[in-house]
Structure 1
Amino acid sequence: MVAGSTSQPCDAIGASNTAVAAGPDAIEGLPVDQCGKITLSGTALLSNALEEEHIAQAESFLMVGKSFDDSIVDYVVSSVLPHASELRTIEVCDVQLSPDGLRRVLHVLRQHSVCDKLQELSFSDVHLHYPETSQLQHVIMKNRAHMKRLRFQSCHMDDAAAEPLVEAISYCEALEEVSFALNDIAHALCFPLDRKDVFPPALRMLDVGSNPMKSVHFSGLSRACQRCISSLQEIYLHNCGLTEEGLSTLLSNGLHGSCSLRVLNISSGRLLHTAGKLLSSLITECPNLERLYVSDNLIGVDSAARISIVIPSAKRLSVLGLGRCHLCSDGAKLIAEAVRDSSSIRELDLSGNNVKDEDVSEICAPGGVALDVSLLDLSDNPLTNNSRSSLQAFLSKRGIRPCTIVLRGTGLEEDSPYMENNNSLMI
């Protein structure tokens, strides 16, 4: 189960998250979103064929894909960016620019006066080292009054490269979203050189997933979030090695009792079977929590029992990810019973928990009452064709209410990795 993103309205920041299409006012060769906002990208940019009028009007500039290499740099730095006076969003993803080519682009953003209204910078699947991030620091500082979203994902950054960015972030008082996911940084985030409370009070989303951390880093991270932790709505700490001590530190430093927190991803951590007390407290004391992902932790049956007690009282919790948590049959059944009594949970991940054929009927319909979920993930469990009738009976009880069961990595996958509630298999 993967934490999904929500769609955004036309005035939301970030053209990269808004579908672009050739609508009635489309410009040949240029993406135009449903609100008529122009994005400088695609074939028109690659062919050096942008109209001056469109450059001046565009709010987004995207270089996405390996077709963008150093051959485009001269055109971008001389004819595009210096004249793009309305730019709000810049995205660079999976390009073939050399370090020198990328630095030339960043130099223009830093030096040219028209690029001073940026609200989003997004870099992913590119190499950002200190020479590039020190340039980006100046770009961010120049736009700090407007900056709302910064994304540096899978950029091969280490702590030295991240330090200039972290320093700049502390001055962006309007910043709402930050992602440093899929890098190799910890110290720069948790023990910054410039100030301890790095992240501004306006921050709503923090993603530092897939950065290796130790217990000491989580105490530093809680201090770095001091100004915003009680108002954060989404926190992604998956694959960071989060321990019970680390989670306890975050909770005690402002996360516990947060009425703002809606999404928490702490999957692929180092939580053990003693973490149930903390997790149940989190669910109870964060009344607006909607999505909780705890997959790939050694939760076990005892913690599942603790969590199951508080699930029915979590009135906003709609997604619960407990895949590969060593629940076994007993733990999975306890969670299923709690979800049956929940008025809000619609997606449940019990993948990889050693659920067997004989457990399926009790998990899908504990006490004879079918779970009211639209998605049930039973992937990577030792299920065979013997459980098919129980699964179909559950789907039949759902009636016309949509429901999908995910069966990847099971003995039922031969026909299809899914079953849906018309009792047919779905490819």
Structure 2
Amino acid sequence: MSTFNFLKMASQLDEEQGVSFQDKALTWDTAEQVQDVVDALKNQKVVHYLQLDGNTLGVEAAMAIGEGLKLHPEFRKALWKNLFTRRLKSEIPLALNHLGSGLIEAKAHLTVLDLSDNALGPNGMKGLETFLRSPVCYSLQELHLHNCGLGPEGGSMLSSALLDLHANAKKAGTPLQLRVFVAGRNRLENVGAAALAKAFKVLQTLEEIVLMQNSIYHDGVSVLAESFKANTHLRVINMNDNTFAVKGAAKMAEVFEHTPLLREINFGDCLMKTDGAYHFAEALEGNNGNLEVVDLSFNDINSDGGLVIITAMQSKPKLTYLNLDGNCFGHEGCAQIIELMAKNGNPSALQTFEEDNSEEEEDQNDDEDEEDDDEDDDDDGEEDEYDEHEHANDTTEEADEDDVAEETAYVTTNAFTTKFLNDSVTFKDNSTFAITEKPVSCSPEQFCLSQTPCTLQQFNAVEEENKLQAFKNIINQFTEDNHLLLLVFTALKCSHLSKTSKPALDLAVSLYKSTFEYALQTKQENRVLNYILLQLGLLRSEESFKSEYDLKSCRYALREAIIKPDFANDNIKNTLKVFLEQMDA
């Protein structure tokens, strides 16, 4: 549960009336042993909640409590986490059935059900199926099933129950308004995740989703991401310690555009790699201005990916917590990230770097099993944060990793083919970029549309007095991403010659300026920054990328561009300076 919702629930409990036997460490097997709880339920006129966590409940005792619950139609919150320690699998569904039956007969209207840290499994879900489909749960707002050992089968059963609950509530004229769904540490895997995604897509009311540490890989992540898009009021997403890889990160990044109210995202220990960080940075650039908490720790992100994330955070004025620890930044990379963050409006949000995995990363091959990566992360990261009491009744094991094929983002060996820019293109005419042979004489159109670097002879062969305007006339015939691509690569063609031709340098500076003006105008600042940095060899990727351009000349022209007083803005200038200085170091 997020800090916000935890405090909110605590505040509500202070205002409400209820019965609490929390953390008494009592063993309740018989009706006699649980008589104190039953008496409290009978003697107290108003009972909004019953808090039993930290004890252990048997079948007969549960039946007695169920009888007591029948007296309270005003009942709202079943706070029953860590309640079945040392119980047999056969006992748990029977006990749950007795508790649920009592609330059904009372015709209560439940808002919170918390059964976290109970070894339910699929067998335990059988004791909840009838209850979760009943009118008692039509008013359910929060469902907490953290660390319940549901597995793929239990996750599927839960999804089916939620879908039926939604349909039943709608039919009764009281639409379900489930806001909080917590089911971390359940080994749901792809099957369970896909099943729950079906329910999420139908619910469309969720504000907080916690699915941390569930052995979900990119296939399951992708399906979940689609369901998250349907829940446009999402404020908290916690997917910590699953295995996204780049494919999963790309899909999850698409969620941000559809969830403008996001305040807290936790994707730590998800093995999203550097290219996954690029996807996140691009998606967060113009979205989610309300973000307060961002955790991308332990993700095998290199320093370039860290810098790109920092740049994306510059548009997040409410940011109070940014965790990038445990990535592969190295000492110098950490220093650069801290320096760039210092230019943000909220530099204190960046958390201290206590661990760096750069050395580890250098010793690994690119195609190494993700199993080893994840085991290292488990040793160093999430597991250390759990306290002994919270996981005394731990029902899950650590995730086993399979080989996951990764897809690298933003890499291109063809000047006009890139996954970084959108696949969909719009032309004003039927022109294409398919000029493959260098022309003897070079028109402005041939210069702009050629996919290969030009020679100085070709550059000089463009006879127009105002070459900049001639190039722009060609570029302006195209729209959207094609317009942007032509700006970028015409700038590269000119900067390719910048050390041997003053006119080419001047044109390159002007075209770089025009490129970033267009980026700002279309609100694609970080997207274009990242793409140009990659093209200039300043931004590293998981896959090797070899440019056909003279990168030293291209970077020289960029340095000349960013010292101009009217170039772009301080955010773009500072980011480019950091990467250029990194290359010079």
Same fold (TM over 0.5): yes
| Residues 300 and 328, structure 1, Cα contact 8 Å, conserved in 2 | yes
Residue 166 of structure 1: aligned partner? 100
SS at match of 1:298: coil
- Evaluate the alpha carbon distance shift between residue 323 and residue 190 of structure 1 in structure 2; reply closer, same or farther with a 3 A threshold: farther
Give, in whole Å, the separation in 2 of the partners of 1:179 and 1:9: 12
Residue 427 of structure 2: aligned partner? none
- Evaluate the alpha carbon distance shift between residue 320 and residue 8 of structure 1 in structure 2; reply closer, same or farther with a 3 A threshold: closer
**Residue 391 of structure 1 pairs with residue 326 of structure 2:** no
SS at match of 2:251: helix
Give, in whole Å, the separation in 2 of the partners of 1:411 and 1:194: 48
**Residue 346 of structure 1 pairs with residue 292 of structure 2:** yes
- Select between 377-386 and 300-309 the one with higher mean Cα deviation: 377-386
1:188 pairs, out of 124, 129, 132, with 124
- State the TM-score, normalizing by the size of structure 1: 0.69
- Percent identical among aligned pairs is 15
Q: Which amino acid aligns with 2:193?
A: L
SS at match of 1:398: coil
- Select between 115-124 and 342-351 the one with higher mean Cα deviation: 342-351
- State the TM-score, normalizing by the size of structure 2: 0.52
| Residues 119 and 146, structure 1, Cα contact 8 Å, conserved in 2 | yes
Give, in whole Å, the separation in 1 of the partners of 2:247 and 2:9: 43
Shift of 1:249: 2.5
Q: Which amino acid aligns with 2:125?
A: L
Shift of 1:106: 2.0
**Residue 326 of structure 1 pairs with residue 271 of structure 2:** yes
Give, in whole Å, the separation in 1 of the partners of 2:145 and 2:237: 16
Residue 146 of structure 1: aligned partner? 74
Residue 117 of structure 1: aligned partner? 46
Counting only pairs closer than 5 Å after superposition, residues 272-421 of structure 1 correspond to structure 2 as: 272-342=217-287, 343-365=289-311, 372=317, 373-399=319-345, 403-405=349-351, 407-410=353-356
| Residues 190 and 217, structure 1, Cα contact 8 Å, conserved in 2 | no
Give, in whole Å, the separation in 1 of the partners of 2:153 and 2:272: 29
1:217 pairs, out of 151, 154, 161, with 154
**Structure with the bigger percentage of helix:** 2
| Residues 374 and 403, structure 1, Cα contact 8 Å, conserved in 2 | yes
Q: Which has the higher contact order (CA 8 A, sep 6+)?
A: 2
| Residues 133 and 162, structure 1, Cα contact 8 Å, conserved in 2 | yes
Give, in whole Å, the separation in 2 of the partners of 1:124 and 1:406: 35
**Residue 247 of structure 1 pairs with residue 193 of structure 2:** yes
- Evaluate the alpha carbon distance shift between residue 312 and residue 298 of structure 1 in structure 2; reply closer, same or farther with a 3 A threshold: same
Shift of 1:138: 1.5
| Residues 201 and 228, structure 2, Cα contact 8 Å, conserved in 1 | no
Over the aligned positions, Cα root-mean-square deviation in angstroms equals 3.2
Greater radius of gyration (CA) = 2
Give, in whole Å, the separation in 2 of the partners of 1:177 and 1:317: 22
Q: Which amino acid aligns with 1:176?
A: T
Give, in whole Å, the separation in 1 of the partners of 2:210 and 2:9: 25
Q: Deviations over 1:35-81 (max 9, x none)?
A: xxxxxxxxxxxxxxxxxxxxxxxx7xxxxxxxxxxxxxxxxxxxxxx
1:233 pairs, out of 176, 179, 184, with 179
Q: Deviations over 1:211-249 (max 9, x none)?
A: 011322233223433325842110111111223332333
- Evaluate the alpha carbon distance shift between residue 379 and residue 137 of structure 1 in structure 2; reply closer, same or farther with a 3 A threshold: farther
- Evaluate the alpha carbon distance shift between residue 200 and residue 124 of structure 1 in structure 2; reply closer, same or farther with a 3 A threshold: same
Residue 179 of structure 1: aligned partner? 114
Give, in whole Å, the separation in 2 of the partners of 1:190 and 1:93: 26
| Residues 93 and 126, structure 2, Cα contact 8 Å, conserved in 1 | no
- Evaluate the alpha carbon distance shift between residue 170 and residue 281 of structure 1 in structure 2; reply closer, same or farther with a 3 A threshold: farther
**Residue 204 of structure 1 pairs with residue 141 of structure 2:** yes
Shift of 1:380: 3.0
Q: Which amino acid aligns with 1:173?
A: A
How many pairs are equivalent?
Answer: 337
- Evaluate the alpha carbon distance shift between residue 98 and residue 270 of structure 1 in structure 2; reply closer, same or farther with a 3 A threshold: closer
Q: Deviations over 1:5-44 (max 9, x none)?
A: 254499x6412xx7xxxxxxxxxxxxxxxxxxxxxxxxxx
Q: Which amino acid aligns with 2:13?
A: G
| Residues 59 and 95, structure 2, Cα contact 8 Å, conserved in 1 | yes
Give, in whole Å, the separation in 2 of the partners of 1:217 and 1:97: 28
- Evaluate the alpha carbon distance shift between residue 210 and residue 309 of structure 1 in structure 2; reply closer, same or farther with a 3 A threshold: same
SS at match of 1:386: helix
- Select between 99-108 and 169-178 the one with higher mean Cα deviation: 99-108
| Residues 179 and 207, structure 2, Cα contact 8 Å, conserved in 1 | yes
Shift of 1:250: 2.9
1:268 pairs, out of 197, 210, 213, with 213
| Residues 47 and 75, structure 2, Cα contact 8 Å, conserved in 1 | yes
| Residues 277 and 306, structure 2, Cα contact 8 Å, conserved in 1 | no
- Evaluate the alpha carbon distance shift between residue 161 and residue 218 of structure 1 in structure 2; reply closer, same or farther with a 3 A threshold: same
| Residues 194 and 220, structure 2, Cα contact 8 Å, conserved in 1 | no
Shift of 1:193: 7.3
Q: Which amino acid aligns with 2:161?
A: A
- Evaluate the alpha carbon distance shift between residue 119 and residue 8 of structure 1 in structure 2; reply closer, same or farther with a 3 A threshold: same
- Evaluate the alpha carbon distance shift between residue 270 and residue 139 of structure 1 in structure 2; reply closer, same or farther with a 3 A threshold: same
Give, in whole Å, the separation in 2 of the partners of 1:221 and 1:241: 14
Shift of 1:2: 5.4
Residue 62 of structure 2: aligned partner? 133
| Residues 189 and 224, structure 1, Cα contact 8 Å, conserved in 2 | no
2:34 pairs, out of 103, 111, 114, with 103
Counting only pairs closer than 5 Å after superposition, residues 19-168 of structure 1 correspond to structure 2 as: 88-97=17-26, 99=28, 103-109=34-40, 112=42, 114-143=43-72, 145-155=73-83, 156=85, 158-168=92-102
Give, in whole Å, the separation in 2 of the partners of 1:195 and 1:411: 47
Structure 1, unpaired ranges of 5+: 19-58, 60-87, 414-427
| Residues 314 and 345, structure 2, Cα contact 8 Å, conserved in 1 | no
Give, in whole Å, the separation in 2 of the partners of 1:400 and 1:96: 45
| Residues 326 and 357, structure 2, Cα contact 8 Å, conserved in 1 | no
Give, in whole Å, the separation in 2 of the partners of 1:350 and 1:402: 16
Shift of 1:290: 1.1
Give, in whole Å, the separation in 2 of the partners of 1:193 and 1:320: 31
Q: Which amino acid aligns with 1:298?
A: T
